[in-house]
Amino acid sequence: MPTSLLIVESPSKAKTLKKYLGGDFEVLASYGHVRDLIPKNGAVDPEKDFAMKYQLIARNSKHVDAIIDAVAKVDHVYLATDPDREGEAISWHLVEILNKKKLLKDKTAQRVVFHEITKNAVLDAIAHPRDISQELVDAQQARRALDYLVGFNLSPLLWKKIRRGLSAGRVQSPALRLICEREHEIKAFVSQEYWTVHLDSHKSRTKFSAKLNEFAGKKLEQFDIPDDAEQARLLAALQGHSAQVGRIEKKKKTRNPAAPFTTSTLQQEAVRKLGMTTDRTMRTAQQLYEGIDIGQGTVGLITYMRTDSVALANEAVEEIRSYITERFDGDHLPKNPVTYKNKSKNAQEAHEAIRPTSILRTPESVKAFLTADQFKLYEMIWKRTLACQMAPAKFDTTSIDIHVGEGVFRASGQVLVFGGFLSVYEEDVDDAEDEENAKLPLLEEGETLPVDKLYSEQHFTQPPPRFSEASLVKALEEFGIGRPSTYASIISTLKDREYVILDKKRFFPTDTGDIVNKFLTEHFAQYVDYNFTAKLENQLDEIASGQRQWVPVMDSFWKGFHKQITEKEGISRAEVTTESLDEACPKCGQPLSIKFGKRGRFIACTGYPDCDYTRNVGETAEQAAAEAEAPTVIEDRTCPDCGGELHIKKGRYGKFIGCANYPKCKHIEPLEKPRDTGVTCPQCKAGSLIERKSRYGKLFYSCNTYPKCTYATWNPPIAETCPKCQWPVLTIKTTKRRGTEKVCPQKECGYAEQIAPPEGKEAEA
């Protein structure tokens, strides 16, 4: 019979640990959080020192029951939830539940922490248990209470002033502000013209280019050649002169390896190099941390993946240096171990950077046991960790001035003379550095060169780029918005709420997101201010380190926030969602305004309902008039609701059929009849599945009796019964990794049968 119980968060982690600990231990999982605030107002009481009312999370109640039963049968309880504030809070909640059941009277319940799931790390943690850290619990409680108070007070205000179903959050709202402000910068950007002048020359067979850097003794800045006339004048002045080599400057340059991964840098690099979303990156990293069966048992392949520390354990550094010594030339190993400094002043030094649990476990040695995502991410972590302890790369750089008349052209080149860490991990370089990699011939001062070509190039300044997931994570970190463990959930929330869309891997704010941001920045500026958000995060860190008490921090926040919520109750919806235009309605002469409806922004007459004039934002009155003057009438059909004519109209999402008597009659239908798949709906068994488009243009398949039946699936359906669960419909799914498969749409089933292999695999086979 087991005498000890170890409680972890994840069931997959529980299986791994059970093998390490043997028969004296029972290992159970809490399946994440076990309690949460009651989902209604009053769960946090500011009048009673922010007392919090918790309830069991229903989906985890059976797991809590199993833990309660197991505790009654053992002598020792070890709480091995994740090594962060959330994990500490889960352990505290479990102890609270067990104390209420009076199960810990004669037993010990202690906290154990390990940052990697290896046998040595786990056994060492069990040998050195500690009490639950109340400071870490208080920090988590404060964060949860803050998020609750913001959500339960600000979100209902958004419902009243904009529309129902919206939400605001302590960290999601400043993140939305970043995206909206960048969009406003792009729209307000005025492009500026400038020119550059270039020289093409060669020596022997080596061709190279140089850029005009100076003219008539004056160094040229970006806008010193502003237009076509000036570039023509310069080219004319340079024509007919020979080229002569002037000053040659040679330098030695080194590039140091980057620090090992933190959560933030891992997410950024996975987005840039692997094309993985932040959410997908963290899910894959969690799998590598919790353990993979690599043929010799299950083992955690990386250390804990939620960290802002760049420190490495001494034993890990020793192992890495030993590996470098054995596999590389002596020049690749620095004399002393390379150390890195944390950029974040609140980085948790007790944590490590994300690294392989053993550098000896090479990516190729475990590739056969990993999925494609797991392998790509593990390989990137392994290479970055190895590279961080290697010698810097060395370059020879050359800059050459070439005189042509009164002009001085500059050519730059760079040659890698020692790869160092670059032989393992290639980092991204910026465009300027890329230009310096040009190959230059061996030249001498005073040497005359041929002028192959003199030419100019026109340029226009570009607006700042929209945020990608990688650059957004970087900005969140720089501004101190949230913490590494929350970046993926912040981005997911913004997408799920349809505040932003991701198009070509760049974030665009939707009309809804823009209006929500406008309301918050105008009326709750302090609470979406980047400095305020960062300051609050720092205060939470200080609570965790014991430097502050959590109740005074909460009280300071709540007094100002509650007062502002009360003051803003009187704002009308029109103030928030309507924007005046300096334009008269072409139909009745009254002013026009930009309004906000369920399909987004549109231009409408302020005289509604007496005047029904509307048009799309971005459409001119002339364009709208041309569209309205000659409506296309649907022949041989009338409106099924009122008997009026049916017209082809143009809306926010393209053309559609609508009643000519709008707005009195609001009948609409799609212009193109949806394609019927001929597959009977498996849910209602009355309708059939038809092809539709989402508001963002993505195809999906749903029942034609909607809204009576709400069944829908993203993948094309086929009328075949699942051989595993007998669901009457299968779907066709195609991915790069698995090719084309018949898949059961019931997630809990998991049935999949390959129809065609991935592209290129047939030839390999």
CA distance 604 to 381: 54
Q: Mean pLDDT, the chain, as a whole number?
A: 90
Locate the DSSP E strands across 89-240.
108-111, 193-203, 206-215, 218-219
Residue 387 predicted with pLDDT over 70 = yes
Contacts of 266 (CB under 8 A, 6+ apart): 281, 285, 305, 354, 381
pLDDT at 131: 95
pLDDT > 80? residue 446: yes
- 82 sits in the region (left: phi over 0; alpha: psi -120 to 50; else beta) called beta
Q: Report residue 211 as tokens.
A: 């850029």
Domains, in order of start, for the chain: 4-132 (3.40.50.140), 153-188+466-570 (1.10.460.10), 193-256+393-460 (2.70.20.10), 263-387 (1.10.290.10), 581-670 (no CATH), 676-764 (no CATH)
Phi, psi of 128 (to 5 degrees): -130, 65
The pLDDT of residue 739 is 79
- Residue 483 carries which DSSP code? -
The DSSP code sequence of 585-650 is -TTT-PEEEEEEETTEEEEEETTTTT---EE-TT--HHHHHHHHHSPEEEEEEE-TTT--EEEEEE
Give, for 11, the enclosing helix (H) or strand (E).
helix 11-21
- Which pLDDT value is given to residue 675? 85
Distances (CA, A) of 441 to 208, 395, 408, 411, 658: 8, 16, 18, 11, 70
Residue 431 pLDDT class (50, 70, 90 cuts)? very low
Query: How would residue 491 be classed by pLDDT, with cut points 50, 70 and 90?
Result: very high
Q: Which of 509, 518, 513, 653 is nearest to 187 (CA)?
A: 509
DSSP 407-466: EEEEEEEEEEEE-GGGGT-PPP--HHHHHTT-------TT-EE---EEEEEEEE--PPPP
pLDDT band, residue 1 (cuts 50/70/90): confident
Enumerate the H helices of 661-759 as residue ranges.
none
Q: What is the pTM of this model?
A: 0.77
More confident residue, 36 or 437: 36
What's the Cα-to-Cα distance from 492 to each of 77, 203, 345, 484, rounded to whole Å?
A: 36, 55, 27, 14
Cα distance between residue 429 and residue 413, in whole Å: 15
Q: Looking at the predicted structure, is the pLDDT value of residue 182 above 70?
A: yes
Residue % of the chain over a pLDDT of 70: 95
Residue 692 corresponds to which tokens in the numbers above?
């539709």
At residue 727, does pLDDT exceed 70?
Answer: yes
Q: Is 304 a catalytic residue?
A: yes
Q: Stretch 94-123: mean pLDDT, rounded?
A: 91
Q: What is the pLDDT of residue 731?
A: 94
Band (pLDDT 50/70/90 cuts) for residue 345 is low
The DSSP symbol for 6 reads: E
* pLDDT, position 744: 92
Q: Which range is least confidently modeled, 12-16, 329-333, 360-364? A: 12-16
At residue 453, what is the residue type? K
Amino acid at 204: S
The pLDDT-based confidence of 666 (bands split at 50, 70, 90) is: confident
762 pLDDT more than 50: no
- The whole-number pLDDT of residue 652 equals 59
Q: Cα 98 to chain center, whole Å?
A: 38
pLDDT digits (tens, 9 = 90+) for 215-264: 999 999 999 999 999 999 999 999 999 999 999 999 999 999 999 999 99
Mean pLDDT, range 277-288, rounded to an integer: 93
pLDDT reported for residue 595: 92
Residue 370 has pLDDT above 70, yes or no: yes
Residue 517: CB partners within 8 Å, gap ≥ 6? 173, 176, 177, 180, 499, 509, 528
Indicate the pLDDT class of residue 519, thresholds 50, 70 and 90: very high
- In this prediction, residues 372-381 reach a mean pLDDT of 96
- Label residue 653 by pLDDT band (50, 70, 90): low
525-582: per-residue pLDDT in tens? 988 899 898 899 899 999 999 999 999 999 999 999 999 999 998 898 888 999 999 9
Query: Is 599's pLDDT higher than 80?
Result: no
How large is the average pLDDT for residues 321-327? 96
Looking at residue 630, its pLDDT comes to 65
The active-site residue, picked from 194, 304, 487, 527, is 304
CA–CA distance, 79 with 90 (Å, rounded to integer):
9
**3-state SS, one letter per residue, for 204-241:** CCEEEEEEEEEECCEECCCCCCCCHHHHHHHHHHHCCC
The pLDDT confidence band at residue 612, using thresholds 50, 70 and 90, is confident
Average pLDDT of the segment spanning 470-490 = 90
Q: What is the pLDDT of residues 289-300, one digit of tens each?
A: 988 988 878 889
How far apart are alpha carbons 454 and 445 in whole angstroms? 21
For residues 61 and 65, give the distance between their C-alpha atoms in angstroms, rounded to a whole number.
6
Q: What is the pLDDT of residue 649?
A: 81
Give the model's pLDDT for residue 761. Answer: 46
Lowest mean pLDDT among 1-5, 240-244, 289-293, 671-675: 671-675
pLDDT tens digits, 128-165: 999 999 999 999 999 999 999 998 999 999 999 998 88
Residue 763, pLDDT score: 36
pLDDT average, residue stretch 422-445: 73
pLDDT in tens, 184-210: 999 999 999 999 999 999 999 899 999
> Residues near 488 by Cβ (< 8 Å), separated by ≥ 6?
267, 277, 278, 279, 281, 282
